Every structure is written in C-alpha cells, then in structure tokens.
Structure 1
Amino acid sequence: MAEIVQSSSSLRFFGDDLDPAQLTKLLAGQPTYAVRKGDHHTYPPNRPPRVAQRGLWRLSSEYDKGDQLDHQIAGILKTLPSDLVIWAGLVQRFRVDMLCGVWLDETNQGLSLSPQTLHILGERGIKLELDMLPRNAEGR
C-alpha cells in the first residue's frame, strides 16, 4: 500500500455577499486568506492581480508529513465556535467546505477520519472535499 507523503486542510466559505471582516468577527478567528467579491487580489502569489469573482474566507492548516488529516481538521474546527445555530446560518448563506489535500507516494492509498471528526463536520453541515495527488504534484 502507498504511503501518504503529506496532507493539508482548509475550511472554506464562498459567497457573493461574503464580507471577510464580518465573518472573521462572527467566527472569532483570523483567516489564512480572505477576499471580498470585486476586490483585487494576488492569490496564488505567483499570479498577476485579478478581480475576485466571489468572496472567500479560508482557514488552513500547515502542510504536514504523513496522514494528518484528522488532526488538521480537528485543529481548525476547535479554534472556531461550536454553536450549531451559527453554523446553520453560515451554511445557508455561504458554500462551506473542508478541502483536504493528500499527496500520495503511489496510488491506491487509503485514509480515515475518526467518527468524532466526521460528526463535527456533519453537525455543522460542512462538506468534505478530498483532493488526492501524486507525490510529484505541487505541494509544499
């Protein structure tokens, strides 16, 4: 079986009316990256400035060696409010997901998340997105 070389996770909010400052205040946490629809931004940093087509608020983990997804996801979510009323409003208003990148040594690798982490994602209405990449794909 192949080895997971590294992993990363990002909680993402997307929306046309997303105001990064309001979302930051509501979540009581600083994003890794945020932009309002219509603002100029330079993400990824190696691209020329462009106009944001939608608002984005993202809180990302560090890139970690090995299969650290469960730890990364739990680490992101424990820094944010646990009030499910707040989360219900957020998932109704914005597209919300947890994007996880997994870099594989070979193909055909499995991974797992704990029932607790899956429960936390589910009760908040957060969609789980997995991006499985070969080792030589861009990562950190």
Structure 2
Amino acid sequence: MAELARAVAALRIVGEDLDPSEITALLGCEPTTAWAKGETRTTHGVTRVMSFGKWGMEAPETSPADLDSQVSAILDRLSPDQGVWSNLAERYDVDLFCGWFMERLNEGVSLAPETLASLGARRIVLDIDLYGAFEADAPETRSVPAVQKWWPGRS
C-alpha cells in the first residue's frame, strides 16, 4: 500500500454557547482559530454573523501523511486532565478533523494504538474527509477493472 500523500488535521470544539476564552483557560493554550456566537467574520470576501462558537487548534500539514505526529502536535500542547475533556465532550461537539489527500488510486495510512487511545480517552471523534486524485491522465484512474479486481461487483 502506498503512503497517503498529504494530511491536514485540526481539533474542533463547537457549541452554540461556547465561550472561546473559557476553553482556552480549561485547555491551557491559545487556539489557532476561535469565535463566539454572534461575532462577525469575513471569509473569502463574505461577511457573516456566526451562529455558534468555535475553538480550534490546527496541526502542521504533513507530506506524506502522518496523523500520529499531528495528533501529538495538538494534544501535547493541551491539558491532559480527563475531567476537563469529559466536561467538554458533554457540553460541546469535539472532533479531530482530518483532510487526507491522495495522489494515486490506492493510498493508505495507519494510526498507532497510542494515538487512538489518546483520542478515545479524551472522547474526541475522528472525522475524516478523503480527497481522491482522479485525473484523466493518471494511468491508475483510467481503468475500472483494476478496482473490480480487488472489489468484485463494484463498478
């Protein structure tokens, strides 16, 4: 299996009544992105009033993908207190967003048991978006029979 080409990862804590300063105090670290419900934000030239609060921490992009190091880059900066994480998970939506970018038809990634345990102990949902590379000139994307060889009945 080929290595996954590239990965981005970010911890996201989201809730209607979320106060970013409270989350910062609980976790002991400044976020890379945050806002409260009712704040005005402009993104890509569009201004909108936020309907929920968010506290987020991004990890450096990795190429090839290395989610283990990305999780460590985030969680090593934050409180290890299980009570804090339990409280956050009961009050807010807490997840680790992962964007995984492929350059070939078949790429993969493995996660260490310690990484999975760290996320689980903190009740952090793993949210994965996969981005495939299906270019007309890429030989591995021209032929469906190659996929059918591994997954019979698929087209």
TM-score (norm 2): 0.81
Equivalent of residue 123 in structure 2, options 122, 125, 128: 125
Q: CA RMSD in A?
A: 1.4
Are the aligned partners of 2:9 and 2:98 in contact in 1 as well (CA < 8 Å)?
Answer: yes
After TM superposition, give the deviation of residue 4 of structure 1 in Å: 2.0
- 1:36 maps to a residue whose letter is A
- 2:114 maps to a residue whose letter is Q
Identity of aligned residues (%): 37
Partner of 1:49: 47
Paired residues, number: 134
TM-score (norm 1): 0.89
After TM superposition, give the deviation of residue 107 of structure 1 in Å: 2.7
Please identify runs of 4+ aligned residues in structure 1 that moved more than 3 A: none
Partner of 2:152: none
Instruction: Tell me whether 1:15 sits opposite 2:15 in the alignment.
Output: yes
After TM superposition, give the deviation of residue 33 of structure 1 in Å: 0.5
After TM superposition, give the deviation of residue 3 of structure 1 in Å: 4.2
Secondary structure, counterpart of 2:54 in structure 1: strand
Decide which structure has the larger Cα Rg and report it. 2
Are the aligned partners of 2:7 and 2:64 in contact in 1 as well (CA < 8 Å)?
Answer: yes
Are the aligned partners of 2:89 and 2:124 in contact in 1 as well (CA < 8 Å)?
Answer: yes
Residue segments in structure 2 that go unaligned for 5+ positions in a row: 135-155
Measured against aligned partners, the alpha-carbon deviations of 1:45-72 in whole angstroms (never above 9, x if no partner) come to: 3241111121111100122211111110
Partner of 1:29: 29
Secondary structure, counterpart of 1:80 in structure 2: coil
